[in-house]
Structure 1
Amino acid sequence: MSPSAAASLRLELSLVQPVLRAAAARMWRSDAGLRDRYRHYLRAMHQVIRASVPLMERAATRCERLPRDPLAPPLAQYLRAHAEQERGHDDWLLTDAAATGTAPCELTAAAPPAHVAALVGAQYYWIEHSHPVALLGYIAVLEGNAPAPGLAGRLARETGLPSAAFETVRLHADLDGGHSADLDRLITQLHLDPAQRSLVAVSALHTVATLAELFDRIATAPHVSESVHD
């Protein structure tokens, strides 16, 4: 793959970035429903993030079953290492939820809705039935759209929830920039053929569309009485 491969992917994503940013802005708008929307966000993101390590491990295993594919060894190595970096992040969300007064079992027992399955499940399909490199598009979007550095503080001020309820937002704002740089270096180094390059782009664009839908569903979620949680 040419040295401009990562830049090309970022350029493609920049064309649809306003859609995702607008959905995030609607979700984080300042009004009386922000506290409840944040609780909805924690539940939804737990459903997404708890799949991150299993997705990467499954993709790495598929790579290891492609012994004649020159892409497979460096991709598997990256995925195994990144899975270790991401391990336990779903537990951060459970801790944050507890700080809001939400029992962790409300997150772990909830059945993921269809729009979450569409976001995550497409990656399983591409890993199994196309090529595990597809997962790089998904990772590029999730880590290329880290929370803004000041978001955790603003949410704490405007919701009245304790600052301990926003550790995942705060930590991902700090960590994901470095992870995105690692991914860009990998994409630049890999020698993808045109079909594989297209697959990464399709995966990334699908992730933008379904993540924006997820944010919009949170933005329009019905207000829940504080007495349910507090």
Structure 2
Amino acid sequence: MEVRKLYIVITLSEKHVTIQPLGFKYKKDDNRRALMETPNIASMRAAFFKKYMENKHLEFTRQLVFLDETWIFSKGNKMKSWQDENVKSVLDFASKSKLMDYHGEMHSENFTKRVENQLIPNLEEPSLTVMDNSPYHSVELEKQPSCSWKRGEIVEWLEKNEFRFDKQIFKAELLSLAKLHKKPKKYKIDQLLQANGHEVLRLPPYHCQFNAIEMIWADTKYNYNTHIGGVGHTDENVLEMWQKALEKCTPEV
């Protein structure tokens, strides 16, 4: 049997007519799709579901806690709601930053204080806390060598971890050696939660849709945007209206 390659050439004028019956639609693409299906991210997604399902089938299932941060415009946003890459803890503060969101003031120190002082005291039983990999969620217990490190810093790290090496080799070689002995990442916030009897489940990158709190943010922002106009826009009015919007998002909703 002779096998021949078949090439199909479709011109722009013919594309709509030729491809549409095959189930294709010409629409705005999601740039994350290709990233989400890389082997590394797909592996992280599989690990996420594995841990999620393992918890679900435990004899004593851990309480699921979805953790995230968001922001609102004080005067509301009638056009759309912004949602990011977590419903037990809600962290409210008025931003004084000139940036258009909370990132100017939400950093590792603030986030850690709120987890320690607000979230943990309100968790009545061991939890599985789901969060994304924002920089302030992901401060490592021990930084590991990177291209920005000086040669002496890499040497010091290798010596501290008792790796044998030739001190006369170049920085690039030292960095390759350090990467070869790279340790699993350990995060400060994970350690804080684990020390208080909780476990952490991190979302795979580009998968914020797996965080159930995104639905809470959408409903809450809709309620806020609908009602904020009539009560003024002072910090007190904004926080009061946001709290009322949160209270409307009950499990029944």
TM-score by length of structure 2 reads: 0.24
Q: Point out which structure has higher relative CO (alpha carbons under 8 A, 6+ apart).
A: 1
Max Rg structure? 2
TM-score by length of structure 1 reads: 0.26
Q: Which has the higher helix share?
A: 1
